[in-house]
């Protein structure tokens, strides 16, 4: 397997959510200080002519724009979480899918997204 460079960027946001029918009941509305970390690689794994695999600035900006859609709101009010539970797992998958669409034009591939619900609990999604 050829060597591959992976780039990590992160964003933070504050948001409330509740899980519907969690263990038979709906959770009360509560909030978290979220951190989302995205790992990206260049298609083909290498670097471009400028010795860059994935542009940090562009990837971070795009991740922050996604985080801003959830920041200081109730995640349950943002599609697709109006229909599906805003679990950390579903949030991580949403970030991976949305970020991949945002970086498709940059020859980048999202290889993992980790969502932290505070400083100790996290989930990682690998598409």
For 27-36, write each residue's pLDDT tens digit: 899 999 999 9
Choices 3.20.20.140, 3.40.50.450, 3.30.450.20, 3.30.479.10: CATH for 6-125: 3.30.479.10
Sequence-ordered list of residues with C-beta below 8 angstroms from that of 106, at least 6 positions apart, any chain: 54, 55, 58, 59
% of residues, the chain, pLDDT over 70: 98
The tokens 């038979």 sit on which residue?
A: 24
Does residue 11 contact residue 63 with C-beta atoms inside 8 Å? Answer: yes
Report the alpha-carbon distance of residue 67 to residue 5 in Å, rounded. 24
Instruction: Tell me the pLDDT band of 22, cut-offs 50, 70 and 90.
Output: confident
19 Rama class: left (phi>0) / alpha (psi -120 to 50) / beta: beta
Mean pLDDT of the chain: 94
Residue 14's nearest CA partner among 74, 97, 82, 83 is 74
pTM for this model (two decimals) = 0.93
pLDDT in tens, 71-118: 999 999 999 999 999 999 999 999 999 999 999 888 899 999 999 999
Which tops the pLDDT comparison, 49 or 20? Answer: 20
Q: Write the DSSP symbol of residue 2.
A: -
Instruction: Tell me the pLDDT band of 53, cut-offs 50, 70 and 90.
Output: confident
Which token pair is 13?
């946001």
* pLDDT value for 43: 84
* pLDDT value for 30: 96
Domain ranges of the chain: 6-125
């Amino acid at each position: 397997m050829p060597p591959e460079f992976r780039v990590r960027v992160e964003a933070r946001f504050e948001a409330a959510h509740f899980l519907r029918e969690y263990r038979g009941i709906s959770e009360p509305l509560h909030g978290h200080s979220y951190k989302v970390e995205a790992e990206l690689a260049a298609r083909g794994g290498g670097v471009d002519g400028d010795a860059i695999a994935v542009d940090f600035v562009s990837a971070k900006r795009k991740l922050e724009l996604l985080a801003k859609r959830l920041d200081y709101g109730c995640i349950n009010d943002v599609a697709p979480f109006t229909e599906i539970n805003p679990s950390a797992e579903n949030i991580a998958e949403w970030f991976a899918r949305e970020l991949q669409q945002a970086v498709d034009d940059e020859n980048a591939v999202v290889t993992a997204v980790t969502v932290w619900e505070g400083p100790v609990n996290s989930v990682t999604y690998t598409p």
